[in-house]
Each structure stands twice: as structure tokens, then as C-alpha cells.
Structure 1
Amino acid sequence: MNTMKLGIAVLVAFATVAPALADTIRCESDNGRERYCRGNTRGGVYLQTQLSSSGCYQGDTWGYDGGGIWVSAGCRAIFQTGGNYYPNGYNPNGYYPNNNNNHHNNNNDGAVAAVALAAIIGAAVVASSSSKNKSNSGDSYETTYNNGCNAGTKDRNAGKSRDYTRHSGSYSGSNEQAYSSGYNKCWSN
């Protein structure tokens, strides 16, 4: 296998292993109080499932720092971490709370090691059998977040209700979370 194919194999292996390092954190604001849930958030955080009827808006009723996730104003949700959703450490909410509460951590080091090994072997097979390196990457999280922010600001200034879905043609399904986070953050500012 030549050097370029080996390099591609290693990059594919790392890209495949990153989701395996993800963690699920359930964090709930009780009676409207702020709560901080510890966890490894260095790879980014996104809201996986909202559990509350109260809105969960990134930067408004939830956010995160390097040590965990905070929720407030009745936001209750399950968050996914470890997916590197903020390139170059970009954190759009910038809020860093001081209180510490609960963190639910799933430690699957053995499973991660097995996935890593399978990913490396799979990447080597793919690299050795493929002659082309195809790339189909969409907009970055940051770009999509900023586009949502701009739309949220325009809608707020025009007196429209908070509803990012009216701009559904401006983002793909895989970028919806980034767009909605930016929209909601800037609509409420």
C-alpha cells in the first residue's frame, strides 16, 4: 500500500472511531432551576432528544463548557457528546457555569478499542481497493450555525415568530441542528 493510501486509511479510521467515543448525557432543569451535568464535552455537544415541554434553545436554556452541560428554565433533554461538532474549539454559546451536579457516563473502553481496530482494518481495506478519494462534505457546523443566526436575527427584526423551519430550504437534514441552534440563539438576543 503506498503512503497516500495509508494516510487515507488512517484518516478514515480516526473519522470512524470519533463517534464511538461519544457519550450520552441526560440533564434536566427541575422547577426552572439551572443544573450542571458533568461530562466530556471537548468533542462538541448536540441536543439528541428533548424531554420537556419547555423549550431547549442552545445558548438560551442550555449550553456547555469543557466540563459538562448546563440546562435552565425547565429544559430537560438527552445530549450527545464527542462528535466534534465545533471545529477549532468554536463554542457559539460561550457560557461557563460554576455549579456542579450530576453526570451520566457510559464507559465503554473495550467497545471503543474493538471499534477502533475494526475501523483501522476496514479503512486499510477501503484504501487498498479504492483508487479515488471522494469528498462530499457540506457546510461546516460553524457556517450553518451562522446562517441560522442571520435568519433568526432577520425574523426577529421583522416581527416574525420564532420558527426556523420556515427556512427549511436553507439547510440540509444533517445540518438542521446547527441551523436551529444559531437561529434560536440570535432570535432571542
Structure 2
Amino acid sequence: MGVSRAVAALLIVSTSALTIAQTGGLTCSSDDGGYRYCRADTQNQVQLTRQISGSRCEQGYSWGYDPRGIWVDRGCRAQFVYGRGRSRGDDNTGAAIAGGILGALILGAAVAAAKDNENGGDRERTNYYNDGYRMGRQDADNGRRNFYQWWSERYPMKYERDFAAGYTDGYNNNGRRPPR
């Protein structure tokens, strides 16, 4: 069950990586020779694809861009493509690699969690051992006799051995530190 959740998470991450790499196009016009800003998520990738105006369209002189959009000035009117994937031959390799790495990490964590559950829950076992250790230390520090049976009745039988081992180590102060 945990692995199927991981596969679903991997699909979501892969889709997100492709969404990040979206592209778009627009026409931006400098009406009456004045400055105009056309908002777009350019991802700092813009390419002029077709000049429409008779006025000169030259990057840095009559058009430019930033991450939030494209600007035109001095009568430039043109069509632009923007975003990763189309301009400058970018093929989304970076986004695909990042999505794959993140997906692999998520899948690995899900497989590890599924194994953890199959093995009786190593984290739960550690928690019960730690509880036992603390209770054993508490009883020993307060001069009480070994009350393991009283404490163990409060924990599931599935983890009784883990609790008992921790209690014994704590009560006898075997010098071992409890696992964290």
C-alpha cells in the first residue's frame, strides 16, 4: 500500500516538473512608439520569433525581458516565445532530471516505510524499547523493585519483547544508551 502511494507521488512530481517547464507565446506592441510591458512567466527565456512592425526590434534597444514579462518600446511590435523548452533550444533536461531525482527519493522513502511496516515497525519497536528503558531507569533510580510486569501490561503484546529488553537494560543500568 505504501509503494502505491509512492508511485502516485512520483507521478505528481513528474507532472510538476513538466509544468515548471511550460512555454508560451504572445504578441507585444509598442503603440504610438511608447513603452509597453506584457506580463508573462518568461523563466528568463525569451526569443523574438516574428517582427510585425516596420520599426526596428532589437533586443536591449526596443525590446527586452525579465522573469515577469517582456517589454517593447520605440514602435517595436513582435511575436515572442518564452519559457523553458522552446527558446534557445532548451529541451527541459534539467527539469526532467530534477523531477526524476525527487521522484526517486520519494519512492525510496515509501519503499523503506513499507519495509518498516512489514518488519513489525522498527520505529515502533524502538519507541517501545525506549519507553521500557526509561521506566526501568525510573524504577531503579527511585529504589523500587523490578515492576516490569506492572508496566508491560500497558503496552501491546506485539511489542512486549521490545519493552522488556528496554526495561531490563534501563533497570540494570547496563551502560548501554537507549536507541533514539
Please indicate the TM-score interval, normalised by the length of the shorter structure: 0.3 to 0.5
The TM-score with structure 2 as length reference comes to 0.36
Structure number with the higher helix fraction is 2
For the pair shown, the structure with the greater C-alpha radius of gyration is 2
The TM-score with structure 1 as length reference comes to 0.34
Higher relative contact order (CA 8 A, sep 6+): 1
